[in-house]
Structure 1
């Protein structure tokens, strides 16, 4: 059977469509998050920027209300980092990525503080402290350090989050965010959601990933989720006529998996200027990021130390980064921008600045 070969531009336009970056979606914020599978939320304030570029008429209050209503929750998930997901998805996603989190709990960073401590005892005490309520993370850390003197409570608390389903509660103590690192409160996930966490479902994770990021290679799936050894599963899904998958070939000849009914965008589809958040899903969604981020700009956007800068898409590809400082938004082009495109970038930047309560008239564009 011969697979269709997809061009880089077609992969780019398809990713924009599935990431809601070709046109803002007129859906509730929880529906948008579900379509994206998860939103990177390691740096909480950036969540607002990422959703504003994807959801029509998005307001910060929409997200705050969804978190307060427990429709959306934040916790350590994909790759062990903090993500925002729907409560329904958390129930199966957390146990599915548990091997990644448990692996982190066994890493050297945690072992320095947890050696000699029975993991079951650690989790049991944490659950006792948490009960059915939100508890400041610092209080949980203090209780754990009191039980095991000489250990760093903050690391013990983080180990609990890696070993047991825990979510972060909402908070309005930080400007522009419903939580901050200084005021994070945590809760046992089952108590917070009012239902037990379910069973792992790696097949569902593969399908939902493809819906949000496909067509993609198995290595792309593993890079985004943090899971490994998924090939037997993806091979079984690919070969199962009832699984609803199909294959393509990428520009380099690699096999790409996708949902058979997902559809592809035309490579000449319009691609408006979009401002992406730092650590944006669209940038981090694949092992091979060239469908969005040209290789020559990768080290500028991703300089190391786990940093992924906020970027600007022009014609569907990263062409600039952007920063916020002293109440103003600044755009830093990575390539020369034509005069007409400069105007579009400045206009979209002004709209983003207004949304973030920055100086909309003070957006600057470097040369």
Structure 2
């Protein structure tokens, strides 16, 4: 392995600009929403609306109807994948990513073994599959069906077992902009009408390909960065296999970073316009060291208790929070002093958000500065 001194050092601003470029946040990309979802390896979707705001921050001319149409045509789906959380993925990625993240699902299931004493998991998986493939079911209906077979088991453990054993997707209208619907689940196979791809023996080709795609969307990055993003362990072997074809750097703390040789790495002085990101945006969740976007003194400021806030980037870094009310008024809370030029840019970007995402042109005073927490 090469010595530490042979690898160029990327400072925090250089890492910031490289990551923003991969995330389509330096300038809005001219690409279809489906291509963006694929490039970004999915959109964090714990709540229904964030995927739409993630794409608005990244794509030129994006409107919610575009992603809603992809949902309704089943070209994208909502399911539990990375970090045991719900993501919006393309149909193709739903089929290939879910097998690759099965190991964390198995570990999660292991935490509920005490509530599954006497439960035949293979039989449970078969019964749950038949039940949800006969028609999409709510989590409560799945739980009640399984309790009929194992009345002494822990109800929550039975629900977790079904979720961990099966690749379940949330069917529409759940997740469609402007519509409402409770969570109803079926298998990805039934929803898409195809058989899911299986991870190759040993997992090397699948994992190696995932490393390359992760670096394309989130690099430069360390092994630990990707493990945090994916919720996977033991990825070092994939990085070492790929090392001959990767560029290698160090951050200012000496941590080894990998990247695709031809991936964009703009200069540290490249302008970064303000961007309004929703809660749970993957930009803030996909690295072990988040100082490339979140200054150390602002760590933890995007949360209040267990509530995540929508975040504002200024000059590429976390600089505040925001809230868009039902009446189309946007409140921006800045963490520190901004220049007049920065405030004007934030207002202009905020007015664009209101116009595109709140159903009408931004009127006078549509964007105001204040506290979003009371």
So what's the TM-score if we normalise by structure 1? 0.91
Pairwise CA distance, 1:148: 2.5
User: Residues 12 and 292 of structure 1 are in contact (CA less than 8 Å); yes or no, is this contact kept in structure 2?
Assistant: yes
Task: Output one character per residue of 1:304-331: Cα deviation in whole Å (capped at 9) or x when no partner.
Answer: 64x4421111111111111234533211
Residue equivalent to 2:131: 129
Please give the alpha-carbon distance, in whole angstroms, between the structure 2 residues aligned to 1:324 and 1:60.
Answer: 15
User: Residues 21 and 264 of structure 2 are in contact (CA less than 8 Å); yes or no, is this contact kept in structure 1?
Assistant: no
Structure 2: which 5+ residue stretches go unaligned?
Answer: 200-205
Q: 2:222 aligns with which of 217, 222, 226?
A: 217
User: Residues 275 and 349 of structure 2 are in contact (CA less than 8 Å); yes or no, is this contact kept in structure 1?
Assistant: yes
The secondary structure found in structure 2 opposite 1:319 is strand
After TM superposition, the structure 1 = structure 2 runs for residues 276-315 of structure 1, keeping only pairs within 5 Å, are: 276-303=277-304, 305=306, 307-315=307-315
Residue equivalent to 2:75: 71
Pairwise CA distance, 1:188: 1.1
Please give the alpha-carbon distance, in whole angstroms, between the structure 2 residues aligned to 1:43 and 1:112.
Answer: 30
The secondary structure found in structure 1 opposite 2:300 is helix
Pairwise CA distance, 1:154: 5.8
Please give the alpha-carbon distance, in whole angstroms, between the structure 2 residues aligned to 1:160 and 1:151.
Answer: 13
Please give the alpha-carbon distance, in whole angstroms, between the structure 2 residues aligned to 1:179 and 1:285.
Answer: 29
Task: Output one character per residue of 1:181-219: Cα deviation in whole Å (capped at 9) or x when no partner.
Answer: xx1111111122222111221111111111100010111
Residue equivalent to 1:185: 184
Task: Output one character per residue of 1:138-194: Cα deviation in whole Å (capped at 9) or x when no partner.
Answer: 33233223333355656523431212111111116x8845665xx111111112222
Please give the alpha-carbon distance, in whole angstroms, between the structure 2 residues aligned to 1:135 and 1:187.
Answer: 7
User: Residues 64 and 357 of structure 2 are in contact (CA less than 8 Å); yes or no, is this contact kept in structure 1?
Assistant: no
CA RMSD of superposed structures (Å): 2.1
User: Residues 46 and 85 of structure 2 are in contact (CA less than 8 Å); yes or no, is this contact kept in structure 1?
Assistant: yes
So what's the TM-score if we normalise by structure 2? 0.89
Pairwise CA distance, 1:70: 1.5
Residue equivalent to 1:120: 122
Please give the alpha-carbon distance, in whole angstroms, between the structure 1 residues aligned to 2:19 and 2:303.
Answer: 20
User: Residues 133 and 192 of structure 1 are in contact (CA less than 8 Å); yes or no, is this contact kept in structure 2?
Assistant: no
Evaluate the alpha carbon distance shift between residue 177 and residue 137 of structure 1 in structure 2; reply closer, same or farther with a 3 A threshold.
farther
Pairwise CA distance, 1:363: 2.5
Q: Structure 1 residues 290-299 or 149-158, which shifts more? A: 149-158
Evaluate the alpha carbon distance shift between residue 28 and residue 346 of structure 1 in structure 2; reply closer, same or farther with a 3 A threshold.
same
Please give the alpha-carbon distance, in whole angstroms, between the structure 1 residues aligned to 2:283 and 2:178.
Answer: 21
Evaluate the alpha carbon distance shift between residue 192 and residue 326 of structure 1 in structure 2; reply closer, same or farther with a 3 A threshold.
closer
The secondary structure found in structure 2 opposite 1:299 is coil
The secondary structure found in structure 2 opposite 1:162 is helix
Please give the alpha-carbon distance, in whole angstroms, between the structure 1 residues aligned to 2:146 and 2:287.
Answer: 38
After TM superposition, the structure 1 = structure 2 runs for residues 1-367 of structure 1, keeping only pairs within 5 Å, are: 2-107=6-111, 110-111=112-113, 113-131=115-133, 133-149=135-151, 151=153, 153=155, 156-171=158-173, 176=177, 183-200=182-199, 201-238=206-243, 241=244, 244-303=245-304, 305=306, 307-325=307-325, 327=327, 328-357=329-358, 360-361=362-363, 362-366=366-370
Please give the alpha-carbon distance, in whole angstroms, between the structure 1 residues aligned to 2:333 and 2:157.
Answer: 37
Q: Structure 1 residues 342-351 or 40-49, which shifts more? A: 342-351
Please give the alpha-carbon distance, in whole angstroms, between the structure 2 residues aligned to 1:87 and 1:178.
Answer: 21
Task: Output one character per residue of 1:24-67: Cα deviation in whole Å (capped at 9) or x when no partner.
Answer: 11111110011111110111211111111111111111111111
User: Residues 72 and 176 of structure 2 are in contact (CA less than 8 Å); yes or no, is this contact kept in structure 1?
Assistant: no
The secondary structure found in structure 1 opposite 2:299 is helix
The secondary structure found in structure 2 opposite 1:89 is helix
User: Residues 22 and 264 of structure 2 are in contact (CA less than 8 Å); yes or no, is this contact kept in structure 1?
Assistant: no
User: Residues 132 and 192 of structure 1 are in contact (CA less than 8 Å); yes or no, is this contact kept in structure 2?
Assistant: no
Structure 1: which 5+ residue stretches go unaligned?
Answer: none
Please give the alpha-carbon distance, in whole angstroms, between the structure 2 residues aligned to 1:132 and 1:246.
Answer: 49
